[in-house]
Chains A and B, each alone.
Chain A
Amino acid sequence: MRERETASDPAEESGRRRVSIMVWMLAVVASFALGAIVTHFALLREPISQFSLQAFLSGPFWTTASIALVCFVLGIGFAYLPFSWYRDDANRVLRDEYRDLRSKADALRDAEDTWRERAADLRRTPLPARAARADEPEPPYAEDEEPPDIAAVISEMSAAIKANLGEAGSARPAGAGTRPSPLAKPFDE
């Protein structure tokens, strides 16, 4: 849709512009002629058969009107300059923002491509560390077995230690503490 509009734009645009220029010209000429004729006949009260362009151009109306027209046209020319600078700035800012966004999008795409290439390389070639690990001896447990649970091993060990301590305590004579009794003092009696 947008592409079709863009393709048909130049011909339509030039046609519209031609019509617009003609309308503008007709409006300017008609308004100026209307003003001139009304002023001429309202001020001079002469019949139209006596209208002379040479006399009109040398009359006071044209003198005043020509000065006004010249000032108006010069004013348009001077007023156009700051507006053109403003438009230049706006266009430059817009272009910079577009190029900035485009460079960011390209950088993101390049990063994605680089990441994909690296991932493909990694998939193709095995890592040296992984190859070296293949030469290492196998772990003590088989690969299909799960590694031993550390908590269970520790609890088994602590139970075994407690059991050993319990056996050692029952083998001692009754009344014997775990600590040796303090030596009797010689002059205690």
Chain B
Amino acid sequence: MFEAGKIGYLSATTDDELNARLQALAADLAIVDSRLEPTFAAGRRTRKLLRGVVLTVAGILPAAPTGGLTLLLSVMGVIDMIDVLEDDVAAVCLRTQLRNELERHNGLYERIAAEKEHRGWRSRLG
């Protein structure tokens, strides 16, 4: 796997190396595509947070008549909410990291495409 930030001068590489870099880039992009958060995960988190809110409220309000037993529901609700917030923080960190990687991949692709176009014109001109 090639590191996108360590690519030096592509004009000094051979055609085979350039193609290998292009294939590695495509493989990297496929891996990143599988790491991207699916759409249903955000919906699942939202539902979980709303469940936590409902459980917490349902535990707090009838606490006095039940002698504090329903506070256990609040504990479950708070655990749900904290879990969702942790998930969110992890998702935001992952998105930031993937955004940075996307910029590096984009730069690498642009350089490979420019080098290939340059070589193509050079070979056409003989």
Chain A contact residues: helix, strand, loop or mixed: helix
**Residues in A neighbouring B56, C-beta threshold 8 A:** 69-70, 73
Render A1-33 as a binary contact track against B, CB cut-off 8 A, 1 for contact.
010000000000100010011001100100000
**Residues in B neighbouring A92, C-beta threshold 8 A:** 39
Render A62-97 as a binary contact track against B, CB cut-off 8 A, 1 for contact.
110010011001101100110110011011101101
Q: B17 near A: Cβ within 8 Å?
A: no
Render B28-41 as a binary contact track against A, CB cut-off 8 A, 1 for contact.
01101100110100
Interface size bucket, B side? 35 or more
Q: Are B53 and A57 in contact (CB under 8 A)?
A: no
Q: Are A91 and B36 in contact (CB under 8 A)?
A: yes
Q: A162 near B: Cβ within 8 Å?
A: no
B30 interface neighbour in A66, A84, A102, Cβ under 8 Å: A102
**Chain A nearest CB: distance from B19 CB in Å?**
6
How far is A166 from B102 in the complex, measured between Cα atoms in Å? Answer: 82
- By Cβ-Cβ distance, the 8 closest A-B pairs, closest first, are A77-B53, A102-B29, A57-B64, A24-B82, A73-B56, A105-B26, A84-B46, A66-B60
